[in-house]
Structure 1
Amino acid sequence: MDGVVWFGILGPLEVTASGRPVTVAGRSQRELLAVLLLRANRPVEVDFMIDSLWPGRSPPSARRQIQNSVGRLRRTLVAGGVPATTLETRRGGYLLRVLPGELDALSFARHVESGRRLAADGRADDEAARLRAALALWGGRPLAELDSPVAVAQARRLLEDRTAVLEECVALELRLGRHHEVMGDLKTLVEEHPLRERPRALLMTALHRAGRTAEALEEYRRARATFVTELGLEPGAELRDLQHAILTGALDAPPAPRADRTRPRQLLPDITDFTGREDLADRLETLLRTAGTATGVVVAAVAGQAGVGKTALATHVAHRVSASFPDGQLYVDLGGGQARPAEPVEVLARFLRALGAQGHEIPPGLEERAEQYRSAVAGLRMLVVLDNAVDEAQLRPLLPGTPGCAVLVTSRSRLAGLSGMVLVELGVLEGGQAVDLLARIVGTGRVEAEADAARDLARLCGHLPLALRIAGARLATRPDWPLAELVRRLADERRRLDELTYGDLEVRAGLSFSHARLSAASRRLFHLLGHLYAPEFASWVCAALLDTTTDGIGPLLDELVAAQLLQPSGTGRARYRLHDLVRLFARGSGSEDPRPAIARALGGWLALTERAHIAVSGGDFATLHSDAPRWTAGLPDLPADPLAWYDLERLNLMTAVHQAATAGLDELCWDLVASGYTLFLTRGHNDDWEETLRAALTCTRLAGNARGTATMLMGLGLLGTYRHDYAGAAEALEESMRLFREIGERQGLVYALGVAAHVDGMLGRYDHAVALHEEALEVHRASGDLGAEVLLLRSLGQLLVEIGRLEHARPHLERALLAGRDGDRRVHAEVLYWLGQLHLAAAEVGPAESAFKDMLAIAEDLADPREEAEARYGLGLVRLNTGALGAAAGLFRQALALNRPLGEPLTEGRIRTALGILHCRNGQPRQAIGHLTEAAGIFDTIGIPLWSGRAYRALADAREAHGDRTAAHAARKRALTLFTSVGAPEAADIAGPDADRPP
């Protein structure tokens, strides 16, 4: 990357700033960014964006959505470190400004153009290097995760450009005699483009020059068969002439290799079971092959923790590029994982002897040997592999001094002090790659026979290659062991590192060496981090563990990262994580009691979660808290977007709850869940919410904590309402209210009564629901909780609107609207929704539209799809009431699309009921029946009799319009039964002397 900012579209869409990824979440924002990048440095009109994102079907609010999306995208980029001036607002549109070194597509074009200029000067080697540099920028199919027509079309164009450049490059390299190196590229090209003649001709040439003439001719026969079968044509003149030249020996021979007196070949044997890492291997190979045309020595380094496979990768890549270094390959293990690393002066003596120097010709001092070594390799094409390097001081004397040579380094350190070096960070294998490596060691059949155990084994090894090789070696020598036996042994965390030992291979040994070199402060932090459950963490967590400020934490983190005992998380921020096996080692690396430190870290998460809840809600409304201590001494400010913070910390919040429960910190545990419910709810993470509720409930019950237990039961009741499990919600709320009454917790009782009243209303128990609301309001007057008052007034107003008592509902909702203007914005949006429904039911169309529009503005600003779906549904009802059926249909479909990923059945049922009524009015009874049948099924499943009755009543009208009077009568009878069962006034609309009489 040439700049601080980097945009990638030649593969999956990516953004980095100062080397750290910037997460652009959401398909719509990624599609928008892709459109801007594809037209980088050119103004993009809003109309073009609309056509790109909604081809042929743009919503009425498309311009406002574009404006909002650009605003969110700009905030995301700036928060990630991208300069604010990168995304500019222009008249009628926007412009994304990037430099050539900040967008891979522009860098690709720049390299290709430069290569072609060099070709005009007759510099073929330099041209090939430029073209290879261009091709190295590719990371797969362009914009692979996006499917808009613009992205797909542009991806096709970019891929065509890449194919043309690759053909140009391999043709040039063939002329330079690099037929072995281009074989893989050519075979891939032929597979991807079987009907292109040029790749076939180049592959035949490469095979012939590699001494594989029979295969070259066989390739011609395959090409002819493909062309005749697919096109009904013979191959073109180029292929036919090439076949003739090969048969007659007229094809030019490859250039002769350079012959020298001493050519060392010191590489370790290639890795026969090399698995995964293909992308990294390709990247390193491409880089090393530029040594012949680079202006200086090419240096690449592979950094990673002990056992991650650095040597295996380096060895494999070195063998792949060895033909590009005809003057030899030097190798040395510098002993970075040993008590006594290799001294550079000793290594230079070995290198000089390998290059032909006699013992008496080797000078005694380091500087003299380094000078002689650089002179010996000057002008040569030499590859030097420096394995297990300790630091830059050990490496510098071993680097060649002139172009043509390349150096490949492996180290547990990042070696940032070597200028011009390209660093590759090596992580653990992916899950599938780990299982593949295991299969190569113990046999595919054995792994396939115990596929689940193989995956468990790979997971318990942390996908670490060394651990996998040890496990594989143990299994290979014990063919009588099932894989499940080793899984059982590794499942015990206390024994896992002891089990991962075989011969001279041991996971613990490599970690122990790195640990021994740490300072005392870093060792203490490392030990405490081992006891933390969080999968990743920010630097403030380390400050909490040590009970200090963040000022002195940076050097300790840098030391742990440099020792490869701590890894940057890769989320684009200053966050870190421990490998699972490293975590186990860390726990046993010290003797300090970790409990006070862990309590401080959990107290920090509680403080930040509470702040995020307040920021999202607009205040601390309808939430109980405990007296658990918060740790705030070194806590950072909450980001401007609290939901983005929550997205980053969600897994940490869940693990914090579980860790607090395990540690018996019951007050902290339940407060974490209570403070986080707004965040879980806004993002629709109901499963996470339930998991944490139940963990905290178990913890508070064991501790005899009645207040915490009642609060968690209330949370389960509230969750039940969102899941429409009203029976389960009622059971939890009954116990919650009992406990709150027993301990005299009036504020908690208000909340629980309000939720219970809502549950009764949804079940059709209207009288009881009204009574619970009145009790809750009476208790509330003593507590003075404004947030609770708004919730209760909204809930009572909703209930009264649903049962048609509009004038009773109006004062409650208007009071809730006034009282909640500065409160929880999500609750305020719900108040607006039910005011809109009240206005609609009272035929007040203008006020209804205004209420739904205000709700939509809040929902879009909160980026809350649940509330946005409800708002668009409400606006659709307004259009339906005014006869604007086309506009209504569009709004209902938008609402349905927003709700689909949420899986909210009540909302879907309501929308489908409205769509059924719309199709019936539009003279489309068949479509109406489909929507209404589905809606009725939804309401029946979740047990909401009032809405079931409404769906069946509308279905009866659709059946009647379709000419099926018998089915219409059955639906109408079902609606009457449901309305009557709950005392709904709508029963009177369909009741009459003939209501039960069949047609």
Structure 2
Amino acid sequence: MHTEAAYLFRHALLRDGAYQLQLPGERARMHSLAFEITEALAGGRAPATAWDEHTGWTIQPHSSDPLALELSEHAGLARDPAGPFDQTLREVECMYLRRAAEYALSRFRYEVAARLWERHAGLTSGAREAVSLHQAALAADAGTRTRGSEGLLRRALGIYRDLGLRRQEARVLGDLSNLQRETGLPGDAEQSLRLALRIARESGDRRLLGSILGSLATLCTDTSRTAEAEEAFAEALAIHREVGNRKHEGIVMGARAVLCLNTGRYEEAEALHESALAIHREVGDRRREGITLANLGNAYSRTGRYVEAERNYEAGLAIHHEVGDRMAVGVALGNLALLRQRQHELAAAEHLHVQALAVHREVGNRRSEGITLGNLAAIYEDTGRVNLVEPAYLESIALHRSAANPRFEGIHLCNYALHLLSVGRLEEGGARWRECARALRAIGDELTLRACAAELHEACARLGLPIPDDGRG
């Protein structure tokens, strides 16, 4: 052990020992003194955080925020355990704890923020406890988007229901549905959203209604219900503009751009992404700026502008890493891998897909896991590892079905059919092709079906095989 390290270790033990030798009342007095000195040096008492039953706390930044956690801990320990309960100190402890949580969140330290909000919930009750749990869930969700957040949301939901606070119940249901959608539970997500939508319409809260409609539109996009998605996007966008909610206006525009891209409206998708990007930068939404940059890369990739696409993926990834958005990291890595595939750089593509797959599994993103597995199967095919192709396609297709992703189910059924035809399993290949056609027709995706049919015809011509019946007749 180095001399300095040994000294510091012994010094810490001596410090803790000396602290424990003090009587509880004396320890409380020392914490009170430390609190007063620290607070004075940090710029004085931070302003109180305004409370509203519907929106929670409004917290304005203050010079003491970097030391808010230390101030909260000193305030909590400054109460003499032998004396009467000091409500003022408890309120100060909670006020600085809220500030510490928000400060951690502003620095993208999501796990710290979640832990502090959950600690805050333990010091409060009623609606304040529910808001704290909801904030803890949102912080936990922002990094991994899954870990620990569902339990916190359900605890908040139970409190709001007990209190009869319906609007707050709808807000939590909306966030719960987003989590369910992201983790491959579209049926549960829709159930949560339909209830939230009914409550939002009954409440007359237009801002809340716009948010719920935007989530519904995104779910419809993911499950290939284009007409329903367009209707919900239009209503959500109109409401956000009516109430002046610029942040959510940008979110809806970016989400609708994804729908346009999926349905072949590339120019419209690009214009919407550009507009959304400008709004995210205007309101300082760094996380969604990164997501939109990467999604704009998808538009460039689809239209053959590979240099621009790569630049956008790299810029998006840099922001994802900066803000700690693991789910977005996985999605962007997968899209960059697909770009490398299109450029026939298969070794690089596979490396990126494997990285993306690990992240998808880490955060529970089953939808993207299915997409990445299907893309990896195509690489296995192209690199002659025939034994790996079928298992990857089968796992991919199963994930698409469980996540209600019929568009990619159809795409990868087509690719699987081509594989079966290429290895002489003609009857099975024809059956998978008919499943592909049924899946894509069921959602009205004629654009993707035509692209799949063109691939099938080309493969059959190359292999000298008859074109399988698509089951239309």
TM-score normalized with structure 2 length:
0.79
1:996 aligns with 2:470: yes
1:414 aligns with 2:17: yes
Instruction: Spell out, residue by residue over 1:416-468, the C-alpha distance to the aligned partner (whole angstroms, 9 max, x if none).
Output: 9xxxxxxxx9xxxxxxxxxxxxxxxxxxxxxxxxxxxxxxxxxxxxxxxxxxx
| Residues 971 and 595 of structure 1, relative CA distance in 2, 3 Å threshold | farther
Q: Which amino acid aligns with 1:653?
A: W
**In the alignment, which of 305, 318, 336 is matched to residue 857 of structure 1?**
318
Cα distance in 2, alignment partners of residues 791 and 551 from structure 1: 39
Per the TM alignment, residue 791 of structure 1 is displaced from its structure 2 partner at its CA by 0.7
| Residues 920 and 689 of structure 1, relative CA distance in 2, 3 Å threshold | same
| Residues 693 and 966 of structure 1, relative CA distance in 2, 3 Å threshold | same
Cα distance in 2, alignment partners of residues 994 and 968 from structure 1: 8
Match of 1:911 in 2: 372
Q: Which secondary structure does the structure 1 equivalent of 2:148 belong to?
A: helix
CA RMSD of aligned residues (A): 3.7
Per the TM alignment, residue 843 of structure 1 is displaced from its structure 2 partner at its CA by 2.5
Cα distance in 1, alignment partners of residues 285 and 263 from structure 2: 26
Match of 1:982 in 2: 443
| Residues 550 and 928 of structure 1, relative CA distance in 2, 3 Å threshold | same
Match of 2:407 in 1: 946
User: How does 1:126-205 map onto structure 2 within 5 Å?
Assistant: none
Q: Which amino acid aligns with 2:99?
A: A
Q: Would you say the 8 A contact 1:925–1:961 is kept in 2?
A: no
1:970 aligns with 2:431: yes
Q: Would you say the 8 A contact 2:294–2:317 is kept in 1?
A: no
After TM superposition, the structure 1 stretch with the greater mean CA deviation from structure 2, 936-945 or 686-695, is: 686-695
Q: Which amino acid aligns with 2:391?
A: G
Q: What runs of 5+ residues in structure 1 fail to find an aligned partner?
A: 8-15, 21-301, 305-412, 417-424, 426-513, 526-538, 553-572, 578-582, 616-640
| Residues 599 and 765 of structure 1, relative CA distance in 2, 3 Å threshold | farther
Match of 1:721 in 2: 181
**In the alignment, which of 281, 286, 291 is matched to residue 825 of structure 1?**
286
Q: Which amino acid aligns with 1:987?
A: L
Cα distance in 2, alignment partners of residues 17 and 971 from structure 1: 66
Q: Which amino acid aligns with 1:689?
A: S
Q: Would you say the 8 A contact 2:337–2:350 is kept in 1?
A: yes
Per the TM alignment, residue 774 of structure 1 is displaced from its structure 2 partner at its CA by 0.3
| Residues 658 and 951 of structure 1, relative CA distance in 2, 3 Å threshold | farther
Per the TM alignment, residue 942 of structure 1 is displaced from its structure 2 partner at its CA by 1.9
| Structure having greater relative contact order (Cα 8 Å, sep ≥ 6) | 2
Q: Which amino acid aligns with 2:214?
A: G
1:605 aligns with 2:111: no
Cα distance in 2, alignment partners of residues 652 and 675 from structure 1: 10
| Residues 821 and 2 of structure 1, relative CA distance in 2, 3 Å threshold | same
Cα distance in 2, alignment partners of residues 814 and 576 from structure 1: 43
Per the TM alignment, residue 880 of structure 1 is displaced from its structure 2 partner at its CA by 0.9
Q: Would you say the 8 A contact 1:654–1:688 is kept in 2?
A: no
| Residues 682 and 997 of structure 1, relative CA distance in 2, 3 Å threshold | closer
Q: How many residues align?
A: 427
1:647 aligns with 2:111: yes
Per the TM alignment, residue 671 of structure 1 is displaced from its structure 2 partner at its CA by 3.4
Per the TM alignment, residue 856 of structure 1 is displaced from its structure 2 partner at its CA by 1.7
Q: Which amino acid aligns with 1:739?
A: I
Q: Which amino acid aligns with 1:820?
A: H
**In the alignment, which of 771, 795, 805 is matched to residue 265 of structure 2?**
805
| Residues 518 and 876 of structure 1, relative CA distance in 2, 3 Å threshold | closer
Q: Would you say the 8 A contact 1:733–1:752 is kept in 2?
A: yes
Cα distance in 1, alignment partners of residues 267 and 145 from structure 2: 36
Match of 1:701 in 2: 161
User: How does 1:427-576 map onto structure 2 within 5 Å?
Assistant: 517-519=23-25, 522=28, 550=38
Instruction: Spell out, residue by residue over 1:517-576, the C-alpha distance to the aligned partner (whole angstroms, 9 max, x if none).
Output: 4437838x9xxxxxxxxxxxxx79x95xxxx67469xxxxxxxxxxxxxxxxxxxx9799
Per the TM alignment, residue 415 of structure 1 is displaced from its structure 2 partner at its CA by 5.0
Match of 1:77 in 2: none
Q: Which amino acid aligns with 1:836?
A: G
Match of 1:711 in 2: 171
Q: Would you say the 8 A contact 2:104–2:112 is kept in 1?
A: no
Match of 2:244 in 1: 784
**In the alignment, which of 109, 131, 134 is matched to residue 671 of structure 1?**
131
Structure with larger Rg:
1
Cα distance in 1, alignment partners of residues 72 and 96 from structure 2: 17
Q: Give the percent of matched residue pairs that are identical in Structure 1 and Structure 2.
A: 21
| Residues 885 and 681 of structure 1, relative CA distance in 2, 3 Å threshold | same
Q: Would you say the 8 A contact 1:4–1:19 is kept in 2?
A: no
Q: Would you say the 8 A contact 2:184–2:402 is kept in 1?
A: no
Match of 1:773 in 2: 233
After TM superposition, the structure 1 stretch with the greater mean CA deviation from structure 2, 836-845 or 782-791, is: 836-845
Instruction: Spell out, residue by residue over 1:169-228, the C-alpha distance to the aligned partner (whole angstroms, 9 max, x if none).
Output: xxxxxxxxxxxxxxxxxxxxxxxxxxxxxxxxxxxxxxxxxxxxxxxxxxxxxxxxxxxx
| Residues 3 and 940 of structure 1, relative CA distance in 2, 3 Å threshold | same
Match of 2:398 in 1: 937
Match of 1:497 in 2: none
Per the TM alignment, residue 17 of structure 1 is displaced from its structure 2 partner at its CA by 8.6
Instruction: Spell out, residue by residue over 1:380-416, the C-alpha distance to the aligned partner (whole angstroms, 9 max, x if none).
Output: xxxxxxxxxxxxxxxxxxxxxxxxxxxxxxxxx8259
| Residues 610 and 803 of structure 1, relative CA distance in 2, 3 Å threshold | same
Q: Which secondary structure does the structure 1 equivalent of 2:281 belong to?
A: coil
Q: Which amino acid aligns with 2:242?
A: A
1:760 aligns with 2:220: yes
1:902 aligns with 2:342: no
Q: Which amino acid aligns with 2:117?
A: L
Q: Would you say the 8 A contact 2:327–2:363 is kept in 1?
A: yes
Cα distance in 2, alignment partners of residues 18 and 856 from structure 1: 44
1:749 aligns with 2:352: no
Structure that is richer in strand per residue:
1
Cα distance in 2, alignment partners of residues 6 and 845 from structure 1: 56
Q: What runs of 5+ residues in structure 2 fail to find an aligned partner?
A: 41-68, 458-466
Cα distance in 2, alignment partners of residues 988 and 592 from structure 1: 77
Q: Which secondary structure does the structure 1 equivalent of 2:236 belong to?
A: helix
Q: Which amino acid aligns with 1:970?
A: A
TM-score normalized with structure 1 length:
0.39
Cα distance in 2, alignment partners of residues 764 and 989 from structure 1: 17
Match of 1:341 in 2: none
Q: Would you say the 8 A contact 1:606–1:671 is kept in 2?
A: no
| Residues 879 and 17 of structure 1, relative CA distance in 2, 3 Å threshold | farther
Structure that is richer in helix per residue:
2
| Residues 648 and 845 of structure 1, relative CA distance in 2, 3 Å threshold | closer
Instruction: Spell out, residue by residue over 1:153-175, the C-alpha distance to the aligned partner (whole angstroms, 9 max, x if none).
Output: xxxxxxxxxxxxxxxxxxxxxxx
Q: Would you say the 8 A contact 1:908–1:935 is kept in 2?
A: yes
Q: Would you say the 8 A contact 2:393–2:416 is kept in 1?
A: yes
Per the TM alignment, residue 767 of structure 1 is displaced from its structure 2 partner at its CA by 0.6
Cα distance in 2, alignment partners of residues 827 and 977 from structure 1: 35
Q: Which amino acid aligns with 1:995?
A: D
Cα distance in 2, alignment partners of residues 876 and 722 from structure 1: 21
Q: Which amino acid aligns with 1:955?
A: Y
Per the TM alignment, residue 883 of structure 1 is displaced from its structure 2 partner at its CA by 1.4
